[in-house]
Amino acid sequence: MKTLLGFIKKELLQTLRDPRMRMLLFLAPCVQLTVFGLALSTEARNIKLSVVGSPSDSSLQTIYRECIASGWFVPAKVSSNDPFEQVKSNDADAVMVAPPGGLDKAIERGRGQLQLLVNAVNVTRGQSIERYFQAVTASLHPFQPPINFDVRVLYNPALKSAYFLIPGVMSMLVCLITILLTSMSITKEKEAGTFETLISAPVLPEEVLLGKTVPFVLLGISNIPLIIAVAIFFFDLPMRGSFLWLIFSSTVFVCCTVGIGLLISTIAKNQQQSMMGGFCFLFPAMLLSGLVFPVENMPWAVRIFSYINPLTYFIEILRNISLKGGDTHLLIYDTLILAAMAVLAAFVSWRRFKTTL
């Protein structure tokens, strides 16, 4: 135990004595979370809306004014009267086109059809424009079906995309720090020429592996409260579940990502290969985790990789604790899967680790 503690102390001092490394560990995650939280949003805003029709068409102008007043749309500055040219030149994201004779007369004839041209180069933004426009027109001309529905939106009634995205960004940052740092731990010794000294010392392979992983587990865990604090105080992310369970599941997730980083370091020959291996794991893991795109939308052949991705389960844990208050059965299930992945990664790393050159 004395040898192991000395090994852990040496790794911590070696990592934290560099001011740039301290900034990377503690300042960079806060800056990244702030930037990503502000930049990543599925909400469409500042939609440039134009209208093609007579200024005396009261119905058309009322809909246009209500769209601008909603906060989603802004008036478009157009250089052409052709609605298609307005969309093509990016002068407008959406164009309202009145029917022949005007919307007022069309409504009087019982054919009040208004055309909306939408720029759908960005599909998500195009769908949002359509939904917003339908919401505005429905509030002006409500249609009463035989059955009325009372719709209640649970857990995120304001439909803030930050509440959905920030837990994923938190997971991504923890994963990024732990995997990249751990993956370069052994290869750094090889490049510096100190690996020979390490394996010739009276130290067991298990002690070497623990000495290389425990410091990064501690550093990863120390980032969790910092990142959570930024999410709560800067983005008003609710935390309705148990904070202790959040810390416990985060610790299991950090152990899993550190184990994956250690596995990469046993495969790579130098730090460049370690960094490339880390990025080769991180980018597919982020895309297949449900961070932005729902896992349920993926085909089965791709969804299989999502189910062996630790990020998928940790993001689900964070969203469940922060928004739903934490369902016990779901938390236990996801945490056990993360623990199994951590044990598997550690076991494979131990089998691959060699104490000979």
| Token pair recorded at residue 65 | 């004014």
Query: Phi first, then psi: what are they for 12, rounded to 5°?
Result: -65, -45
Q: How many CB atoms lie within 10 A of CB 123?
A: 8
Q: Is 74 helix (H, G, I), strand (E, B) or coil?
A: strand
pLDDT confidence bin for 310, thresholds 50/70/90: very high
Could you tell me if 325 and 154 are in contact, meaning their C-beta atoms sit under 8 angstroms apart?
no
Place of tokens 């949003």: 41
Q: How many CB atoms lie within 10 A of CB 38?
A: 11
Mean pLDDT is highest, among 62-76, 92-106, 189-203, 269-283, for: 62-76
pLDDT confidence bin for 345, thresholds 50/70/90: very high
338, burial (CB in 10 Å: exposed 0-12, middle 13-18, buried 19+): buried
Place of tokens 């961070």: 291
Please state, in angstroms and as integers, the Cα–Cα distance from residue 239 to each residue in 18, 153, 220, 322, following that order.
Answer: 34, 18, 20, 4
Integer Cα distance of 139 and 98 in angstroms: 19
Integer Cα distance of 126 and 269 in angstroms: 47
| Token pair recorded at residue 256 | 């899993």
Integer Cα distance of 251 and 229 in angstroms: 17
pLDDT confidence bin for 146, thresholds 50/70/90: very low
pLDDT > 80? residue 153: no
Architecture label for domain 47-140 = 3-Layer(aba) Sandwich (3.40)
Q: Where are the domains of the chain?
A: 13-40+160-352, 47-140
Could you tell me if 90 and 46 are in contact, meaning their C-beta atoms sit under 8 angstroms apart?
no
Q: How many CB atoms lie within 10 A of CB 315?
A: 25
pLDDT confidence bin for 149, thresholds 50/70/90: very low
pLDDT confidence bin for 141, thresholds 50/70/90: low
pTM for the structure as a whole: 0.73
- Give the tens place of pLDDT for each residue, 169-216: 888 888 888 888 888 877 877 777 776 676 676 777 777 788 878 888
**Local structure of residue 91 (DSSP, 8 states):** S
Q: What is the mean pLDDT of the chain?
A: 81
Place of tokens 């429905």: 138
Cα 94–chain centre separation: 29
**Local structure of residue 184 (DSSP, 8 states):** T
Integer Cα distance of 178 and 170 in angstroms: 13
